[in-house]
Structure 1
């Protein structure tokens, strides 16, 4: 019996390691509601958990892999054109894989932040031009922050319980709020530092 359990656990670990992170993002979407590929892409354009995006071509390729692995299935329905549309759903195996993946430590990801990289070399640039760049970045972060704060006001009133998909929405939104506040504060600090450098000594 122990040998069988070891074999099953090893198979689950192998499956988890072969599914790309985007695959799990798709499974996370389908765990909430059956969706067409177009609907999944729409949710990715409004980033999943505000920190994950993907193109339609990437989603289509990963959906094929998930189908081949038996983690999703689909039914067909009349489409807007001559072809039927596919409505994807997560399978029991897909839910098991998603539950297993959720508690695994995140896979190492390359740290790539172009604005921070530019800051690293900022001492070579014209401070006035840098100020303009950071003001643009600040407006973008303040805009997203205002959007997240409006969303938070409605989510906080509902206070969704753990075990519901809306709790996941709230938790991800909380992270988004913290991130955008931090980035906005950092942009303001950079603008202050650069503005000080332009003042005559």
Structure 2
């Protein structure tokens, strides 16, 4: 059974072969916006995927004394990814620390709660501005079937999320007696 991280790696490799370093970079951005993993997790998962025949590698001359491994998706890996993509996601409990803090905010100093939400608003507005710059760089929506479509679709989800969170933070600040 392949883990969700394994499928994330397969999704990156479906766009083209990568070294372990390149995979880690792709997992930081753009995949890191919606799924995170550290370098050691990626390396361990690559070994499992290789053992399962879902990825392979070729050795290539590296910058140092050792060769580098350039990983690629196998036909079995592509088939597994295609099957996984259309399965419903597993149920996962929601875990949102800011919402949990909001639930208990009535016990805190109002000014400290205001500061928390002002800081969160600034964070979400900055991320929204970054996402809007990325959207402008797309130059239009890629067609379904184009590898860029998935990136564009996830970016649209991120835009919606950041707008929602910024609006909610503004609403909280208004409730606390301070406009954004």
Alignment TM class, shorter chain as reference: over 0.9
Correspondence 1:54 to 2:37 = yes
Q: Which has the higher helix share?
A: 1
Give me the CA root mean square deviation.
Answer: 1.2
Query: In the alignment, does 2:134 pair up with 1:151?
Result: yes
Q: Deviations over 1:10-43 (max 9, x none)?
A: xxxxxxxx11000000000000010011111111
TM-score normalised by length of structure 1: 0.85
Cα distance in structure 2, aligned partners of 1:123 and 1:47: 37
Equivalent residues of 1:35, 1:87 under 8 A apart: yes
Q: Does 1:167 align with 2:149?
A: yes
* Matched-pair contact (CA < 8 Å) for 1:47–1:53: no
Q: Please list every run of at least 4 consecutive aligned residues from structure 1 whose deviation after the TM superposition is greater than 6 angstroms.
A: none
2:173 maps to 191
Q: Which sections of structure 1, spanning at least 5 residues, go unmatched?
A: 1-17, 197-201
Q: State the alpha-carbon separation in 2 of the partners of residues 164 and 58 from structure 1.
A: 28
**Structure 1's 55 and 87: CA in aligned 2 closer, same or farther, altered over 3 A?**
same
User: Alpha-carbon deviation of 1:111?
Assistant: 1.2
Could you say which residue in structure 2 is the equivalent of 1:134? 117
Q: 1:44 aligns with which of 27, 44, 53?
A: 27
Deviation readout 1:41-70 (Å, 9 max, x if unpaired): 111122417211110011111111100000
CA contact (8 A) 1:49 1:169 kept: no
Shifted more, 81-90 versus 96-105: the winner is 81-90
State the partner residue of 1:177.
Answer: 159
Structure 1 contact 72–89 (Cα < 8 Å) conserved = yes
Structure 1 contact 134–190 (Cα < 8 Å) conserved: yes
Q: Which has the larger radius of gyration?
A: 1
Q: Given the alignment of the two structures, is residue 107 of structure 1 paired with residue 96 of structure 2, yes or no? A: no
Give 1:117 shift: 0.8
Give the equivalent residue in structure 2 for 1:4. Answer: none
Look up the match of 1:63: 46
Residues 1:73 and 2:56 aligned together:
yes
**C-alpha distance in structure 1 between counterparts of 2:140 and 2:102, whole Å:** 40
- Mapped contact 1:49–1:173 kept (Cα < 8 A): no
Tell me if structure 1 keeps the 8 A contact 2:131–2:158: yes
